[in-house]
Amino acid sequence: MADTTSSTDTTTIEKKLPEEKPAEEVKPTEEVKPAAEVKRAWADEVDDDDEEEPTSSTSADKAPELDIGSLKIDESKNTDKFLDEPKDTNIEAVTTGDTLYSTAATFEDLKLSDEILKGLYVDMKFTRPSKIQSVSLPMILTPPYKDLIAQAHNGSGKTTCFVLGMLSRVDVHRKAPQALCICPTRELAIQNIEVLTKMGKYTGITSFCAIPMDRAQDIPFNRRPAITDQIVIGTPGTVKKWMSAKKLSASDMKILVFDEADHMLAEDGFKDDSLRIIKDIEKSSAHCQVLLFSATFNETVKNFVSRVVKDGNQMFVKKEELSLDVVKQYKVNCPDESAKIHVIKDKIFELGEKLGQTIIFVHTRRSASELHTALQDYGWQCTTIHGAVEKELRDKIVKEFKDGLTQVLISTDLLARGFDQSQVNVVVNYDLPVKHEQRSEPDYEVYLHRCGRAGRFGRKGAVFNLLCTRQDHMLMGKIENHFKNNVVEIPDWQNNEGFNGALKAAGLI
């Protein structure tokens, strides 16, 4: 029962996202030209640009709509060849106050509406709550609706927890924003809207996607109507602009969700925007339940979050249990950069051509474009995504990958967090993730999130770390020590035997 990101008929839910260009306008394998390197924001992602007023306008101008139907994923192309039952984990729940919570063995135990249950069973095809859902949902849905800090594995069902929370708290007869979910990237916001669309199909609840748009499509806020949809999902900069323009009211807000909350409240993330949103809601709403969800919370962020949420419940998983057992990790010693490319094309791709899909993570936009060109020169079809790719094309690239039209996706850390595609069975760390201001230190949380793109909700997967320089080996050693995990070394980068053995051990061949 994985968090599903595909979407079905959206008749009962209104979506406002930009329309997609016809497929023939951009070829799936078109290379994105490299942009000049700039100091990188997290995930190579800039949330929003400063808006410029157009020189002329007409009264017919209106906010463009992003058709969620055009981003709907074709599930007929997906199969679960490598699915294992997820293993239970030890969840530590710390509650405050006198409220008693019992775990939910079934969704009926949660006293959900018939319309929500129908969405869960008919469209989501769920059968029972996952471990994290059975523990966290009673804490979310039981009055007096205490705040919650929740940490659990990648692919364990966190999205379902907060989407159910939002759907359950909304009054469908009140045409005003009542639930708000903040995400670090437009890709994750769109993905969460898809889950909401499917799960809330029979409720009549409407939603709005507040994400950055391409400048040519954007309309100044003074010509936009106020948002009346009950649920809003968006990125922090755009949501803040809607609120500042008095187009997104917080007076009826009942529930505020931060997806990938550790990054949303981190110093090098979206901390300032997130705190501003929290304060604006506190001023307008008598009581708004705050839910913080992520697979990782480092100690600094955890201490800060505990100060933000003073009287809330907590749910954490031990650090050593966060590395998914179903994902096998390997390291490959490569003499130079060209050897890395040969390992990808000759060993990982050719030996595992029928394994499913692959995501290759790189550190910079330039690396992404150069690797794309090198693989394409060898005849491999792939697509590339990073923060400099225009937003409409980014939506198209993600949709093609989720529909199975492309098998290989090269990405910066833009897609490291939360990106859910069940057919991804192989992740390649072409570059290991490092902290932005301290390149000698690995970014442990990002490494964990990258690995979590394979092995979604119990599926089998393999992660290959390509090591070239002395620094690569030093970073890998620190990662192994941090997670108390000895990553298996492939002895010879030129020998097929080691890679065959790795794929067999991962259960993929």
User: Do 184 and 263 contact (CB within 8 A), yes or no?
Assistant: yes
pLDDT value, residue 178: 98
Average confidence (pLDDT) over 483-487: 86
DSSP letter string over 159-173? HHHHHHHHHHH--TT
| Mean pLDDT rounded to a whole number for the chain | 80
Q: Looking at the predicted structure, is the pLDDT value of residue 10 above 90? A: no
Distance between CA atoms of residues 129 and 352, nearest Å: 33
Reported confidence tier of residue 437, pLDDT bands at 50, 70, 90: confident
| pLDDT: which is higher, 323 or 233 | 233
pLDDT value, residue 171: 96
pLDDT value, residue 200: 96
Rounded to a whole number of angstroms, the distance between the first and last alpha carbons of the chain is: 24
Coil, helix or strand at residue 409: strand
Least confident of 262-271, 418-427, 475-484: 262-271
Reported confidence tier of residue 58, pLDDT bands at 50, 70, 90: very low
Distance between CA atoms of residues 341 and 467, nearest Å: 12
Distance between CA atoms of residues 319 and 455, nearest Å: 18
Each residue of 326-346: pLDDT tens digit? 689 999 999 999 999 999 988
pLDDT value, residue 416: 87
Q: Looking at the predicted structure, is the pLDDT value of residue 383 above 90? A: yes
Reported confidence tier of residue 262, pLDDT bands at 50, 70, 90: confident
Percentage with pLDDT > 70 across the chain: 77
Reported confidence tier of residue 455, pLDDT bands at 50, 70, 90: low
| pLDDT: which is higher, 145 or 213 | 145
Q: Quick one: 316 exposed, middle or buried, by C-beta within 10 A (0-12, 13-18, 19+)?
A: middle
Highest mean pLDDT among 26-35, 302-311, 389-398: 389-398
Q: What angle do CA 4, 431, 38 make, to 5 degrees?
A: 95
pLDDT value, residue 66: 52
Tell me the torsion sign for CA atoms 380, 385, 388, 390: positive
Reported confidence tier of residue 13, pLDDT bands at 50, 70, 90: very low
Residue 282 makes CB contacts below 8 A (sequence gap 6+) with 288
Reported confidence tier of residue 155, pLDDT bands at 50, 70, 90: low
Preceding omega of 144 cis (within 30 degrees of 0):
yes
Residue 343 makes CB contacts below 8 A (sequence gap 6+) with 332, 334, 464, 466, 493
Q: What angle do CA 129, 160, 18 make, to 5 degrees?
A: 155
pLDDT value, residue 215: 66
Each residue of 23-39: pLDDT tens digit? 333 334 444 444 444 33
Reported confidence tier of residue 12, pLDDT bands at 50, 70, 90: very low
Q: Looking at the predicted structure, is the pLDDT value of residue 53 above 80? A: no
